[in-house]
Structure 1
Amino acid sequence: MGEINIYGVYVPILLVQAIFAYLLLQVMRLKTDQWSSQGWIVWPSIFNLCLYIVLLFMIHGLFVLSAA
């Protein structure tokens, strides 16, 4: 995909997408932590990792669609 030049520093697009996905994950964890404490989520760490990967793929898909 490329990179972004920010004041002479090249930042990969995937890093920007990963930061967006992490921020969205932190917002979603407010709700999923309640589910975890109620017993709906058995392994919260694996669930959060999978949720982060899904969010990263979704954000990457949005970036690819907007660039096309």
Structure 2
Amino acid sequence: MSDFDIYGVFVPSFLVQAILAYILFLCVGKITDKLIRDGWVAFSGLFNLCLYLLCLLGIHQAFVWFIV
């Protein structure tokens, strides 16, 4: 993956992917907050980290699939 050139400013593609993954994480996090509140998740911090990494993996695969 390479950089995006926005008016002479080079933005790394991984930064764009990370921001999109965070937005997706916020949307999915609203759904999974009920599971955390009800006690179905033991370690909420670890759960949220893994959920964000799964979102990042999905966004990265979408970039690889559609951009390249």
Q: TM-score range by the shorter chain?
A: over 0.9
TM-score (norm 1): 0.93
Q: Does 1:58 align with 2:58?
A: yes
Aligned match of 1:16: 16
Q: Does 1:43 align with 2:43?
A: yes
Pairs aligned (count) = 68
TM-score (norm 2): 0.93
- Aligned-residue CA RMSD in angstroms? 0.9
Q: CA deviation at 1:8?
A: 1.2
List gaps (5 residues or longer) in structure 1: none
Which SS does the other structure have where 1:5 is aligned?
Answer: strand
Q: Does 1:67 align with 2:62?
A: no
Percent identity of paired positions between Structure 1 and Structure 2: 44
Q: CA deviation at 1:33?
A: 1.1
List gaps (5 residues or longer) in structure 2: none
